[in-house]
A = this chain, B = another copy of it.
Amino acid sequence: MSQSYPADVIPPVEAVDCTCSACSMALNCLCKNLDTGLKSRLENEVLRNRVVNRGQSLFEIGESFQRLYAVRSGSVKVYSLIDNGEEQVMGFYLPGELLGLEAIDRGVHECSAVALETSSICEVKFKKLEQLCVAQPILQQRLHRIYAREIARDYAMLQLLGRKSAEQRLANFLLHLSRRFADRGYSAEEFNLSMSRHDIGNYLGLALETVSRLLARFQDQELIEVKRRHVRLLKHQALAVLAGEPVNPVARRHYH
């Protein structure tokens, strides 16, 4: 599984300093820039580290909600089961992203989460985190921000599923992945998909064959190069056009 593809060049998880001080995952990292007292309380009482292999689950549907999970390396698939029993992929999570929020409302996980590759996961005890938040406005603000981001993410996804064609969805998916990799210091042009065509299709509301065909078409149009799970984006702009995004980097929609 671990070939020497670009996005895979991460230090082996055993070698990583697992305290939060060493966590570089910017915005989502709760501990960043906290005073040392608070930081060490967080690290000791709230956080815990864990390595999971491909296919192992972090939590399962129906499990009682205890923790949130932050991906430190690797990637995770979150899915729910719909009425007839089949999977519905709700999202893929990359390093620095937080999952498990869906369980807060009812106190029970509505989704399952499995590692798509060997991954390092930071677990956050939610109850304790909430307790700490009471006395720590800064922490509380960060938690708010995490909620808010998740809501914003969901809104974007609703637009995608509600109104866009298969082509737009896939172009969007690739660009979004690319940006997330770039934000994390990986290449924005070249990366590996840790998820199958089936998972991608499921996530985007498409048949896996449609995903495969569209990737082939994008390649014919010389927008990307794709071989199995390895992808290289050749023309971001053109993809953005396909995705239905505003392209002109100057005339971006401006709020206030």
Residues of chain A at the chain B interface (Cβ within 8 Å) = 61-64, 80, 82-84, 88, 90, 101-102, 104-106, 108-111, 130, 133-134, 137, 140-141, 143-145, 147-152, 154-155, 157-159, 161-163, 202-205, 244-246, 254-256
Contact = CB atoms under 8 A, between A and B. Distances in A.
Contacts of A203: 162
A61 B162 CA distance: 19
A223 B106 CA distance: 31
B158 A154 contact: yes
Contacts of A62: 254-256
Contacts of A152: 102, 105-106, 110
A213 to B, nearest CB: 19
B158 A158 contact: yes
Nearest to A150: B151
A88 B140 contact: no
A244 B86 CA distance: 12
B256 A108 contact: yes
